[in-house]
A and B are shown apart, each in its own frame.
Chain A
């Protein structure tokens, strides 16, 4: 375990930076410098960690040096590492974009610490190996998001924020209740230990978990579904993203919902919706519906929106359906598709929101009736938007294609179980996305310049300087998404490594609890049971 303790730096660095920037309020340049440096450090740490992992390596650090499952495990594996790297990169780009934006002043210097605290919460969620600790991580993230959402606080904004807080409080209540009940029933909070518990309970001779486990698992999955904004629990998202500042919206769009999805990816296959536990079928029944409806209804709603930012918010939701689609199938391939899609969605969604910020800056509005002719004012913005748009639509070889492709393929492969329907809905969603974004494109970038839209070129020097970091942040994200698409072979290798064992986390459990902790079935001639347990989830229907 020696040499593994550095992984907490991914949490310590943002926290430390937040503390420093809190103390340095009123001295903005220092705050900016510290934040940028620590975001870069996070990216570097995550990438360095990934580089040091083998194909199924796991780095574990036990907080307080108390052995698992008693102490809290901090776990860095392929899945966490990939998401940490992506999230930190997105945050860095968004922060750079916002270097000159005005909410930094509005928040009286609170913007910087809150930004880093949000990142701390996100990193915390990706790293933890303990359900209650995950709750704490969510709270850090949510609390920071409440505060950031209110920065600048207009009436409209506060009223939306209030709804957001209320809904999330309901979610948090269920979360802490669920965690407590899981603890009560299994005597553990540690992911690995829980996975062992669940695996043992389904084995011949194992004690089955109580019926209530299914209901409590459902409760937790429900909580994650709220965070992930699955149908019909998405309503908190469109209005809030519409009212807060664009950097905050981009950051949220890139990261927040993904943490919900991450929790589902991490916990459902190994524990909460693992095959053969009592009541697991319930979630397996609900999720395909939730995924399909999220995709298609979100897409339809996006079509009816009249402002770019709202279109993007609905598309954000709609595409979360893709990730849920992979979860619903729950095979290693489909989960790999989900993870790939998550990473690309982080980059692309943040890029689109940032681009939307620039649209609003150039045209004073993102209302489709008030914009037009932007390609002439801002050719590079048009290029970036176009690339991000194509990527979200999912045309090859852009990043959006690959995750979606894996999912569609897996859905069609399992046609006999009815998953073809999800694939078909996935294709339809691609179509709706194309239509919705195509509309944004021709109304905003093409078409005649709108007279009332106060279209003006950024001519003077100070404006150019103000706009420069915005372009840098946007460009970094777009280049990141291009890299993801063109290097799909490499990234797909990593994501499939990351998800290969999610259903039966042997290496993970061995790393956390020690070798031999995963209950292997001793062959006793009863082959039918052993095959049943070894099956993946998708094969059970």
Chain B
């Protein structure tokens, strides 16, 4: 009713009605702005769909009515928009809702002729589908509960798609249609085939969606705007107006790919027949009337911009014609009703693409794109009813194959006649809108032939298609009129009780198909209805009618007469009756399996699971990086200047050579020895030799640390070795030489870089650099530090606990985590291994001399550690070194006296002890923060003592103490854990 009022032009009342509603919602009087109307038109279906979820599950009537409200509101808003603002908008900013402006993604609408036409189609058919679905699903409340929200989402997506001016917003809605279609095709969630087909549709259209994304970006990049309307203007102005005109052809290619997958053009058409796994309302709505037209819509939207692109016509016409012919042929060779209609849809989509391709030919002289629009409407008006009837027939007689439907006219006359009427339109018989559309198409091709003679092939394809369509019609009619195979009346499919809603199984189809004949018989009326939309667009011309066609009898009419005659003959003939399977159906599974096999090949090549391969890979990649670096900077190969060593005193040179020889000899001999224990010892020797290096360069702290560390690690290694299983029998290894060469290359390369970099090491000690600063401020401060110094003579220790104490805080954490990891790992070790460990741990060295001497050694070592700790700030030593000394002492003590002795000496759990050490360090670190200083800010000073030098103190001692505790706890904990009974 609302609709008729709008159509009849009583705009005031509608507007009043709408404004009142807004008034109630917002509390203040508001003129419906164009933006508001657009938003309402687009989002109403999704909103009402979502609201139906709130309704109790068992209500079906109110749910249906609520779902119906969505499309109706859309129709009303669109009509109001047209009434108030006309078609198209003068100022795009009035219909723009900003979403992500910095990306250019806004909800900008452009309700021009093309957009509004599609919007009316989507919302109008949508309303009928809501009703049909109620009839189709019956009172199955679970199905309806799931169906309406998804349908609403789809309707919104489709409306947004066709009304958006912003390319990204269109893309957003475009993807949303794919997703909602996926959800609807996979309606039978338990059916493996159905969900596979749903995925096939999603992935195929998703491929197009991604291509479209690329195309849209390129289009926007080349024109400099995200709005279709502006971009079109810019392209029409020519290359000078564009930002990057070179990208335009690629934009076309990608966008064509997007449109072609969505609109099921060859060779992507396979997904559409597959999508017939969806319930019939979905097939009728998405896969026939609306969604599959999205690609066609895109072509229509782009004609003005791309008509100038050279290969537009060729591409669209060629793909369209192939699709058209193939679809019609496969439709003829199918038996399942829905498949037949799906393939004719494919064929029709090909025809539409073809038309838009031809449209570009004459576009700039005569923008007569009304014909494709007529075709689109025409197709919706017969194909949707065909699907609806296929569903209704399956519903009523439980049969979905044409060959099973003999005698349907007698069994279900109403359904049969509506189907025949719609199929008549499919065959483009006279007095239907379809006839008009077909004539228009043939006329267009006929004229295109003047432009290029190869268009005769297209004309031939069109005639063949027409023949197939007529033949399909003839076969449907013949089948319906033949007597049934058996006399028994076909069983009525009683899967649900029929109620008053059952009429909606056929009423929507009837309503739609009626328009076919109205449009065909009285084109004037049709024109008047469509005119308000189309006059404002540029697509207007007079429609050829059956009368005008007869009046101007020419080649087109002749062709169509020939096609009809041949079609009837083919329809009655026994040729091409057996169903065939479309070979294209294999495309998707085959390509997925191809990609997957390829992926597996790649995965298996890299992921061998062999640590040696991984090492090759890592080091090989590293070498490649170096090669690239050398290629970019050949200076890297020059021999660096290394004079410093040879300039020193002779003693230094000799000592250097000794250390060098030791380090190299131990390192090289490491892989030669086979026995584990020898290897561990040689490794220790190598580490000890490095100590010499530190000594040479006068770094006693480092030397001390290295030495102690080597001792501890050798002890640890030996402890672990005891727990390892027997050494495997020696096998002769292959490929040793290759590995040795590879290792040598890696080693030499790294050495070379170090040498290269090493020839520039003076930078650090330059004035104003770190080295100089650390030495200068170690004890006394300078201007840079506002007079505050580190308060220690041993700059290494000051660096560790003060200048870079923050690093140390991190490192002791690392140390603790390592210990925690070991604790957690051993805790989780399998029972057997635990027992084994326990057995091993019972043994300890029981030499009495050793035990007795420990009484002396331990206290002495601990005192020494304490000494190192306190002297550390000024002399070599410090918390870390002291911790290591104490650990070594405790480890040896434990070896001598056994685990119990150590436990009684150190009653606290090592984990907790480590945590306590960390806590001490952390508290020292953050106390300054609490006082408003940065973390780890130290404080040094003097406590005046009577009669002697004042006592020098520094707060870093607490931090250093934390370090000591952590080191001891970790070392002792790990040693304990490796040897002792498990801590609980």
Q: In residues 52-82 of chain A, which contact B (Cβ within 8 Å)?
A: 61-67, 69-72, 74
| Given A64-B936, A214-B629, A435-B203, residue A184 in contact with residue B770 (CB < 8 A) | no
- Measured between alpha carbons, how far is A166 from B246 in the docked complex, in Å? 50
19 A-B contacts, Cβ less than 8 Å apart? Answer: A5-B934, A23-B912, A113-B915, A147-B821, A162-B611, A166-B611, A184-B763, A187-B771, A211-B636, A218-B628, A225-B621, A232-B621, A286-B625, A301-B603, A395-B179, A412-B214, A442-B196, A446-B186, A493-B102
- Measured between alpha carbons, how far is A439 from B891 in the docked complex, in Å? 57
Of B186, B190, B596, B635, the residue contacting A211 (CB under 8 A) is B635
Of A22, A395, A431, A432, the residue contacting B175 (CB under 8 A) is A395
Distance in Å: Cβ of B153 to nearest Cβ of chain A? 13
User: Do B805 and A64 touch across chains, with their CB atoms under 8 A apart?
Assistant: yes
Of A117, A235, A415, the residue contacting B813 (CB under 8 A) is A117
- Measured between alpha carbons, how far is A216 from B622 in the docked complex, in Å? 11
Interface membership of B206, Cβ < 8 A: yes
- Measured between alpha carbons, how far is A493 from B171 in the docked complex, in Å? 22
Distance in Å: Cβ of A293 to nearest Cβ of chain B? 10
List residues of B whose CB falls within 8 A of some A CB.
98-103, 105, 168, 171-172, 175-176, 179, 182, 186, 189-192, 195-196, 198-199, 202-203, 206-207, 209-211, 213-214, 217-218, 221, 244, 246-247, 592, 595-600, 602-603, 606-607, 609, 611, 614-615, 617-619, 621-622, 624-626, 628-633, 635-636, 638, 640, 750, 753-754, 756-761, 763-766, 769-771, 773-774, 777, 784-785, 788, 802-807, 810-811, 813-814, 817-818, 820-821, 823-825, 827-829, 911-912, 914-916, 918-919, 922, 925-926, 928-929, 932-938
Interface membership of A453, Cβ < 8 A: no
User: Do B103 and A216 touch across chains, with their CB atoms under 8 A apart?
Assistant: no
Q: In residues 160-199 of chain A, which contact B (Cβ within 8 Å)?
A: 162-163, 166-167, 170-171, 174, 177, 181, 183-189
Which residue of chain A has its CB nearest to the CB of B824? A110
User: Do A61 and B189 touch across chains, with their CB atoms under 8 A apart?
Assistant: no
Question: A163-B609, A396-B168, A496-B102 given. 12 additional CB < 8 A pairs?
Answer: A5-B935, A23-B912, A72-B806, A147-B821, A152-B828, A177-B750, A215-B753, A219-B753, A225-B621, A373-B189, A375-B189, A423-B217
Interface membership of A150, Cβ < 8 A: yes
Interface membership of A244, Cβ < 8 A: no
Number of chain A residues close to chain B: CB under 8 A: 141
List B contacts of A25 (CB < 8 A).
911
| Given A177-B750, A434-B206, residue A184 in contact with residue B764 (CB < 8 A) | yes
User: Do A64 and B757 touch across chains, with their CB atoms under 8 A apart?
Assistant: no
List A contacts of B618 (CB < 8 A).
167, 170-171, 226, 233
User: Do A163 and B933 touch across chains, with their CB atoms under 8 A apart?
Assistant: no
- Measured between alpha carbons, how far is A489 from B770 in the docked complex, in Å? 43
- Measured between alpha carbons, how far is A489 from B107 in the docked complex, in Å? 14
Distance in Å: Cβ of B724 to nearest Cβ of chain A? 14
Which residue of chain B has its CB nearest to the CB of A118? B817
User: Do A300 and B615 touch across chains, with their CB atoms under 8 A apart?
Assistant: no
List B contacts of A278 (CB < 8 A).
632-633, 635
List A contacts of B203 (CB < 8 A).
431, 434-435, 438
Of A113, A396, A432, the residue contacting B595 (CB under 8 A) is A432
Distance in Å: Cβ of A490 to nearest Cβ of chain B? 9
User: Do B210 and A412 touch across chains, with their CB atoms under 8 A apart?
Assistant: no
User: Do A214 and B935 touch across chains, with their CB atoms under 8 A apart?
Assistant: no
- Measured between alpha carbons, how far is A65 from B806 in the docked complex, in Å? 11
Of B614, B829, B929, the residue contacting A235 (CB under 8 A) is B614
User: Do B607 and A488 touch across chains, with their CB atoms under 8 A apart?
Assistant: no
- Measured between alpha carbons, how far is A162 from B612 in the docked complex, in Å? 12
- Measured between alpha carbons, how far is A236 from B814 in the docked complex, in Å? 21
Q: In residues 131-152 of chain A, which contact B (Cβ within 8 Å)?
A: 132-133, 136-137, 139-140, 143-144, 146-147, 150-152
Of A67, A215, A304, the residue contacting B626 (CB under 8 A) is A215
What's the A-B contact tally at a CB cutoff of 8 Å?
403
User: Do B192 and A431 touch across chains, with their CB atoms under 8 A apart?
Assistant: no
- Measured between alpha carbons, how far is A281 from B919 in the docked complex, in Å? 47
- Measured between alpha carbons, how far is A441 from B941 in the docked complex, in Å? 68
Interface membership of A427, Cβ < 8 A: yes
Which residue of chain B has its CB nearest to the CB of A231? B606
User: Do B186 and A442 touch across chains, with their CB atoms under 8 A apart?
Assistant: yes
Which residue of chain A has its CB nearest to the CB of B214? A427
Which residue of chain A has its CB nearest to the CB of B207? A431
User: Do B828 and A181 touch across chains, with their CB atoms under 8 A apart?
Assistant: no
Distance in Å: Cβ of A316 to nearest Cβ of chain B? 14
Distance in Å: Cβ of A61 to nearest Cβ of chain B? 5
Which residue of chain A has its CB nearest to the CB of B607? A235
User: Do A163 and B614 touch across chains, with their CB atoms under 8 A apart?
Assistant: yes
In terms of DSSP, what is the predominant structure of the interface of chain B? Answer: helix
Distance in Å: Cβ of B632 to nearest Cβ of chain A? 4
- Measured between alpha carbons, how far is A67 from B788 in the docked complex, in Å? 11
- Measured between alpha carbons, how far is A139 from B916 in the docked complex, in Å? 21
List A contacts of B244 (CB < 8 A).
413, 415
List B contacts of A396 (CB < 8 A).
105, 168, 171-172, 175
Distance in Å: Cβ of A426 to nearest Cβ of chain B? 9
List A contacts of B933 (CB < 8 A).
5, 65
- Measured between alpha carbons, how far is A48 from B238 in the docked complex, in Å? 51
Distance in Å: Cβ of B156 to nearest Cβ of chain A? 13
- Measured between alpha carbons, how far is A9 from B922 in the docked complex, in Å? 11
Interface membership of A467, Cβ < 8 A: no
Which residue of chain B has its CB nearest to the CB of A8? B935
Q: Mark A442-464, 1 if CB is under 8 A from B, else 0.
A: 10001111000000000000000
User: Do A143 and B934 touch across chains, with their CB atoms under 8 A apart?
Assistant: no
In terms of DSSP, what is the predominant structure of the interface of chain A? Answer: helix
User: Do B761 and A185 touch across chains, with their CB atoms under 8 A apart?
Assistant: yes
User: Do A5 and B929 touch across chains, with their CB atoms under 8 A apart?
Assistant: yes
Q: In residues 405-428 of chain A, which contact B (Cβ within 8 Å)?
A: 405-406, 408-409, 412-413, 415, 423-424, 427-428
User: Do B607 and A211 touch across chains, with their CB atoms under 8 A apart?
Assistant: no
User: Do A107 and B827 touch across chains, with their CB atoms under 8 A apart?
Assistant: yes
- Measured between alpha carbons, how far is A112 from B191 in the docked complex, in Å? 44
| Given A72-B806, A285-B628, A438-B202, residue A19 in contact with residue B918 (CB < 8 A) | yes
Which residue of chain A has its CB nearest to the CB of B769? A187
- Measured between alpha carbons, how far is A219 from B773 in the docked complex, in Å? 28
List A contacts of B625 (CB < 8 A).
218-219, 221-222, 282-283, 286
List A contacts of B214 (CB < 8 A).
408, 412, 423-424, 427
List B contacts of A170 (CB < 8 A).
615, 618-619
Interface membership of A538, Cβ < 8 A: no
- Measured between alpha carbons, how far is A302 from B622 in the docked complex, in Å? 25
Of B596, B635, B770, the residue contacting A188 (CB under 8 A) is B770
Distance in Å: Cβ of B177 to nearest Cβ of chain A? 11
Of B101, B629, B914, the residue contacting A489 (CB under 8 A) is B101
List B contacts of A174 (CB < 8 A).
622
- Measured between alpha carbons, how far is A492 from B218 in the docked complex, in Å? 21
Of A132, A397, A442, the residue contacting B195 (CB under 8 A) is A442
User: Do A12 and B935 touch across chains, with their CB atoms under 8 A apart?
Assistant: yes
User: Do A74 and B607 touch across chains, with their CB atoms under 8 A apart?
Assistant: no
User: Do A2 and B929 touch across chains, with their CB atoms under 8 A apart?
Assistant: no
Which residue of chain A has its CB nearest to the CB of B801? A64
List B contacts of A6 (CB < 8 A).
929
- Measured between alpha carbons, how far is A449 from B189 in the docked complex, in Å? 10
Which residue of chain A has its CB nearest to the CB of B220? A409
List B contacts of A442 (CB < 8 A).
186, 195-196, 198-199
Interface membership of A534, Cβ < 8 A: no
Interface membership of A361, Cβ < 8 A: no
List A contacts of B919 (CB < 8 A).
16, 19
Distance in Å: Cβ of B818 to nearest Cβ of chain A? 6
User: Do B756 and A64 touch across chains, with their CB atoms under 8 A apart?
Assistant: no
| Given A23-B912, A117-B817, A402-B100, residue A218 in contact with residue B626 (CB < 8 A) | yes
User: Do A113 and B635 touch across chains, with their CB atoms under 8 A apart?
Assistant: no
- Measured between alpha carbons, how far is A493 from B102 in the docked complex, in Å? 8
Residue among A114, A139, A303 facing the most chain B CB atoms (10 A cut-off):
A303
| Given A16-B922, A108-B827, A397-B172, residue A133 in contact with residue B607 (CB < 8 A) | no
- Measured between alpha carbons, how far is A442 from B192 in the docked complex, in Å? 8
